[in-house]
Structure 1
Amino acid sequence: MTGENRLQTQNGGAFTHYMETVHQRTETLYQSAKDVPWEQPQLILDSLEELRLALEELHVAEEELHLQNEQLISTQEALEAEQRRYKDLFEFAPDAYLITDIYGAIQEANTAAVSLLYLKQPLLIGKPLVIFLPEEQRASFRTVLNHLPTIHRVQEWELTLCKRNGATFEAALTVETIRNNIGSVTGLRWLMRDITLRKQGEMQLREARVQNLRLIEADRLKNQFLATISHELRTPLSAMLGFAHLLLRRLSNHPDAEVAHMLERIYCNGKHLLSLIEEMLDFSRLKAKGLELHPETFDLVDLVMITVEELRPLAVQKSLALDLKTHPLTLTVKNDRLRLRQIIVNLVSNAIKFTDKGSIVLELWELPEGRVALLVRDTGIGIAPEEQDQIFQEFWQVNQTNNRQHGGTGLGLAIVRALVQTMEGTISVSSRLGEGTTFRVELPRQICSSAQK
């Protein structure tokens, strides 16, 4: 019996009790009035008063019954509204909902479930849910279904479901038991989600992770190969350069100038090859975080001036002006002199390499908060905007078709950026095609050694 029915029964019983009471009292008065002689008017008046009181009580009971009926109607309307709201929530929920008996036969299905299983609702009602599973999954499904009265709930149960049109999809099912007042299981409530896209995304993510691991391993092997080959090449090449240098000294006054010239070509090309090998070694150490800085205190202006003079012959060979502008006369820093010189050499030589006419300007000045700025500006071929984000990548060079013309490993700027970052500095580039390029490096005046980091 529902709550409203119980309330209605109680109200009806109370009113019936009032009616019986009034009837009994009226009957009693009637009998009394028959037996009372008319010469006793007071007794008649008392009986009439008693009847009036009984009628008033009846009127009060009627008003109470009317009020209770209004409350019952309001409660019934609220209950019906709640039932409609629940039905709307069930029917138009974005996820698929099913109500089945304890054996999995479908009793209710919302719109999303009808769409997901691709079967009209009248045909769906009464169907066992197991028929929407592939044959190989039905036995395990029935096993879980039989244990649901004891385990009460299964969450995110992943299964493959088959639509009635033959298509399949990956589904995640959450099922829990429905119990009556005494705790007995009377049905099952199902939430069903199509997780096909999620499973595909997970598979793609796994494949991407595997591919990433392969790339990491390939990169590690590449760096190991570079380090090993570079080291193995440098050792015999250094010996060859040593012997070539000795021969050059002995043949400096040799009458056969052609022999001396060929030996000098061997020595110069050997030194160039050694510098390329050193670049690859530095790059492999930087990639492996194995390059250590050795800070010392020195005058940065003096280092820049010496380095520029060493590089000036390269600019003279191409009829380029190489200018140096230093705003402070002296600038004391604590840094790795060798690696800082390497940054300057790479930037200036790179500017000379890609400049055919005009000039290269190197500027140095002091910044606030204990930092210094180094700027290298040229009037060379410039860098296209879409290529400016790639110039610091290893083995990459501006205008790849000109690699043979300009030469080099394509590691210079990658090494510069890695060194600047190791020194906790920054490097940026601005350029326009045909107008030149400017590299700006900012570094702290004092750095820590690698062991102190």
Structure 2
Amino acid sequence: MQTQVESLYNDARQYPNSHSQRLVVTLEELRLAIEELHVAEEELITQNEQLIAAQQLAEVERQRYQQLFEFAPDGYLVTDLNGIVQEANRAAETLLNIQQKFLIGKPLVTYVAQTERANFRALLSQIRSARRVQGCELMVQQRRGEAITAEITVETFSDASGAPVGLRWQIRDISDRKKAEAALAQLQAQNLEMLEADRLRTQFLATVSHELKTPMTAILGFSQVLMGQFNCNQDPRATKMAERIFHNGQHLLSLIENMLNFSRLRANQVELQLETFDLLELINTTIDELQPLVDQKAIALETDLPDEPLMITNDRNRLRQIITNLWSNAIKFTDSGRVTVRVKTLPANRLSLVVQDTGCGISDEDQAYIFQEFWQVHNARSMAQGTGLGLAIVHALVKTMQGSITVESELGRGSQFKVELPQTVKPSRMSFALKS
């Protein structure tokens, strides 16, 4: 058509009369109109291509969101405002134990536990005004299955005019979470009961120990008086009986002291009383105190100490308690051979104290628990001679002194306890450091 108009336009221009001139004008207008039509056609083609591309993109997005909906891990459903199911994904099918095609058209309330249906209907009423409700818990009844605890989020969606036309539901099975929460709550309750039982045990030990210490001190005092009188009267049999009372009383008093120390540690009532003193002097004094125990056995007590005084800053009484406990244990469990005590200085202003014996030794199994409170090595001798608190108290005191304690042992060959401490201990209050 464009070509035909151009031909007529050229022919009309060859005739200069008025009729031809009007025809030329008309043809010119027609030619311009046709050009505009071509431009409009091209624009329409371009817009159509853009529309097709947009439709294809929209279809891709629709399919993508449909797949996200279909394969989401939570149950997703679409219902009308009355809760009639219109769409459901695979997770909803699994959660409710019913095929998707049988869900469509069914009231969602059908799959709510009978006892929860009033709450569900209240939720439907609430969502009409709230537009979104999140984190609501309901019991969902599976088809031919058990009821499960579900967390529900629901919101409305609207048409183009903004009027709500339906509801989107997210249903999440939280049965495992609720079981875990219940188990955790039970554990917490049991933990509180254990803490209370531990508090009562500590209080009981402290009370009993205090009540026992006073009469035991009196028994020791009177037994010493009796030993003096029997010695004067030269009555060996009576003297021996009084000595037995005295030594057994001392043993019992040491057990009472252990229980008192344990209760103080439990109550965080032990504060280091620091002073500067010669460690070697303390060790030699302790050796003299323990010599009677050594003399009762066919063992030797050997020392490997520095030649010069070793001045340290520590709690003298608490350190003596550590040394006495380790040595008395070594002597108690060694029937022949020797008990060796070694002290040496270490870099970084530290020192080591080693107590080694040739006694019965400790099994690998027992070594893992040796510093736990009330733990005793599995042999008849240890069960009969202690409370299982001594090494636990030693461990706690060493930790408070910013030190460490380790054990190496072999059954039938003996044990070695090694304590490492700073030569100058910093002020510290006992935090509960008993190993459990």
Query: How far apart in 2 are the matches of 1:317 and 1:247?
Result: 23
Give the match's secondary structure for 1:382.
coil
Instruction: Choose the corresponding residue for 2:348, options 369, 372, 382.
Output: 369
Structure-2 residue corresponding to 1:236: 215
Instruction: Choose the corresponding residue for 1:427, options 384, 390, 405.
Output: 405
Q: Deviations over 1:389-440 (max 9, x none)?
A: 2111122111255434x51111110110121122232222223333332222
Q: CA deviation at 1:169?
A: 0.9
Q: Deviations over 1:49-71 (max 9, x none)?
A: 54444333332222222111111
Aligned 1:273-288 pairs, distance under 5 A: 273-288=252-267
RMSD: 2.8
Q: Counterpart amino acid of 2:290?
A: L
Q: Counterpart amino acid of 1:444?
A: P
Q: CA deviation at 1:48?
A: 4.6
The reply on whether 1:198 has 2:164 as its aligned counterpart is no
Q: Deviations over 1:190-235 (max 9, x none)?
A: 1111111111111111111111111111111111111111111111
- Name the CA shift for 1:110/1:452 in 2 (closer, same or farther; >3 Å): closer
Structure-2 residue corresponding to 1:217: 196
Q: CA deviation at 1:284?
A: 1.1
Structure-2 residue corresponding to 1:101: 80
- More deviation in 337-346 or 99-108? 99-108
Count of aligned pairs between the two proteins: 425
Contact 1:157 1:174 in 2 (8 A): yes
The reply on whether 1:121 has 2:121 as its aligned counterpart is no
Q: Counterpart amino acid of 2:403?
A: G
Aligned 1:338-349 pairs, distance under 5 A: 338-349=317-328
Q: CA deviation at 1:371?
A: 2.5
Instruction: Choose the corresponding residue for 1:413, options 391, 408, 415.
Output: 391
- Name the CA shift for 1:235/1:450 in 2 (closer, same or farther; >3 Å): farther
Query: How far apart in 2 are the matches of 1:257 and 1:438?
Result: 40
Query: How far apart in 1 are the matches of 2:430 and 2:177?
Result: 47
Instruction: Choose the corresponding residue for 1:442, options 420, 423, 426.
Output: 420
Query: How far apart in 2 are the matches of 1:131 and 1:430?
Result: 69
Query: How far apart in 2 are the matches of 1:256 and 1:262?
Result: 10
- Name the CA shift for 1:392/1:48 in 2 (closer, same or farther; >3 Å): same
- More deviation in 411-420 or 359-368? 359-368
Contact 1:328 1:366 in 2 (8 A): no
The reply on whether 1:358 has 2:331 as its aligned counterpart is no
For normalisation by structure 2, the TM-score amounts to 0.90
Q: Counterpart amino acid of 2:397?
A: L
Q: CA deviation at 1:278?
A: 1.1
Q: CA deviation at 1:122?
A: 1.0
Contact 2:400 2:430 in 1 (8 A): no
The reply on whether 1:67 has 2:46 as its aligned counterpart is yes
Query: How far apart in 1 are the matches of 2:157 and 2:324?
Result: 79
Q: CA deviation at 1:44?
A: 5.0
Fraction of identical pairs, as percent: 52
Unaligned runs of 5+ in 1: 1-21
Contact 1:294 1:450 in 2 (8 A): no
Contact 2:400 2:429 in 1 (8 A): no
